[in-house]
Structure 1
Amino acid sequence: MTATLTHYQDRMRRVLDHIDRHLDGDLDLAAVSSVAAFSKFHFHRQFRATFGISLHRYVQLARLRHASKRLADVTGHTITEIALDAGYETPDAFARAFRQRLGQSPSGFRKSPDWEPWLRAFGPLTSARSRLMQPTYSSDHVEIRTVPTIPVAMFEHRGDPATIDVTIQRFIAWRKAAGLSPRTNPTFNIWYSERRPADPADYRMDLCVGLNAGQGVDETDDAVRIGEIPGGRCAVVRVTGDSHDLEPAALYLYRDWLPASGEEARDFPIYCQRFFLDEPGLTTAAELFLPLK
């Protein structure tokens, strides 16, 4: 029963990954149900039962979110191009839908994005992805490595974790302006607090960009500082597919693997490195690092 359920959920996760990669393509019921090899006559009910949202609305929100991110990249495509790529027949139809959902016009959002309504508007997408049973881990998934010290530029997030997407968008804009591509400068996250502290104001993490030898950044932005991720022994778990939520892997390391391993955690927070993959069927992955003595 467990293996069957896991297989079923893997098929449904494959659907979300397919949608994410084909937002400008054909995402009707027949096309999407075939990705998971489910009957189109039942799939719309299966999708809603699994994710708590209809397939049609999920696709609409995913396309609109992707369009909003492209708008925030002011050096990118025109509003008309973004509207058509998002599946709208005219820019006016796109503008009406955008304003209704986000409370700003596309041009207004491009000039000055208001990220608080953005978070509320696309909350159903985050909720949908979190409804599936989380993956399970075993000691076979853990590798102990000795890693080098990594110089990084650190972009701080302090406060309610519900607003992390706002910081992420600022981080993306900052690294683009600094010319630090994810393809040439690796991306790291460092967590200093638990995922949901009793007081949301206590939440603290850094989004980091690895720096090459001799490479520096402008530190005039108060949110940015130069630092390092110290080298040493680490327990490492690789997460592929849906790497948005690393909590299950972190819980396994702390709750199951560490007590049974005889190892002790080093005095540095848990962190991850994020990867952008070229393999067919995969878009991102992450490696979670638990520093060891």
Structure 2
Amino acid sequence: MAYEVEIKEMPAVRLAGLAHKGPYPSVGPVFQKLVSLIPEPSWAEVEHAAMIGHDNPRKVPAEELRSHACFAVGEGFVIFPPLAEIRYPAGKYAVVTVKGPYEQLPDAYRWLDEDWFPASGMEHRDLVAYEVYLNDPMNTKPEDLLTEIRLPLQG
């Protein structure tokens, strides 16, 4: 399946993330723990949920995959252990919007990495792609979920 890629200039993003090791689809409980760690007054600084998958699931065994369940947060958000601060700089990103269940995301990543990117003529930045959840799976039907995959590019 082919996807549409938009090249976008994106602002810098500051993420507060909670580490996870294991299959990417098993990150749900980590998001629940992340939610429970954020004190009520800090929610004003939370922008959206995101996830970083640090490893390629076609090359790393599922039980060894490293990821972070994250919230994009403002500069006023105090990041405290066990949360990690992860920053993505402003710049050019290849963005793929996936509509539908999260089970479609591995195919979109594979296509972006193996089909689109090699033919694009673009250069990759030294950062892994990350995904941004544009709506809430708690009150959105799986077929209506919207997820952006953001791949950092040079230039």
The alignment covers a number of residue pairs equal to: 152
1:200 CA drift (Å): 4.2
Question: Residues of 1 paired with 2:104 and 2:49: CA distance?
Answer: 16
Normalised by the size of structure 2, how large is the TM-score? 0.80
Please list every run of 5 or more consecutive structure 1 residues that lacks an aligned counterpart in the other structure.
1-135
Candidates 229, 233, 237, aligned match of 2:96: 237
SS of match in other structure, 2:31 = helix
Whether the aligned pair in 1 keeps the contact of 2:100 and 2:144 (CA below 8 Å) is yes
Q: Indicate the residue corresponding to 2:19 in structure 1.
A: 156
Normalised by the size of structure 1, how large is the TM-score? 0.45
Structure whose CA Rg is larger? 1
Whether the aligned pair in 1 keeps the contact of 2:79 and 2:85 (CA below 8 Å) is no
Please list every run of 5 or more consecutive structure 2 residues that lacks an aligned counterpart in the other structure.
none
Higher strand share: 2
Amino acid at match of 1:256: D
Amino acid at match of 1:172: V
Instruction: Provide the identity percentage.
Output: 24
Provide the alpha-carbon RMSD of the alignment.
3.0
Q: In 2 relative to 1, CA 206–181 (structure 1 residues): closer, same or farther, beyond 3 Å?
A: farther
Q: In 2 relative to 1, CA 283–176 (structure 1 residues): closer, same or farther, beyond 3 Å?
A: farther
Candidates 78, 95, 102, aligned match of 1:217: 78
Question: Residues of 2 paired with 1:248 and 1:160: CA distance?
Answer: 15
Question: Residues of 2 paired with 1:208 and 1:194: CA distance?
Answer: 19
- 1:268 matched to 2:133? The reply is no
Amino acid at match of 2:147: A
Amino acid at match of 1:190: I
Candidates 32, 35, 38, aligned match of 1:172: 35
1:290 CA drift (Å): 1.2
Whether the aligned pair in 1 keeps the contact of 2:94 and 2:153 (CA below 8 Å) is yes
1:190 CA drift (Å): 1.1
Q: Indicate the residue corresponding to 2:153 in structure 1.
A: 292
Structure number with greater CO (CA < 8 Å, separation at least 6) is: 2
1:244 CA drift (Å): 4.3
Higher helix share: 1
Amino acid at match of 2:90: G
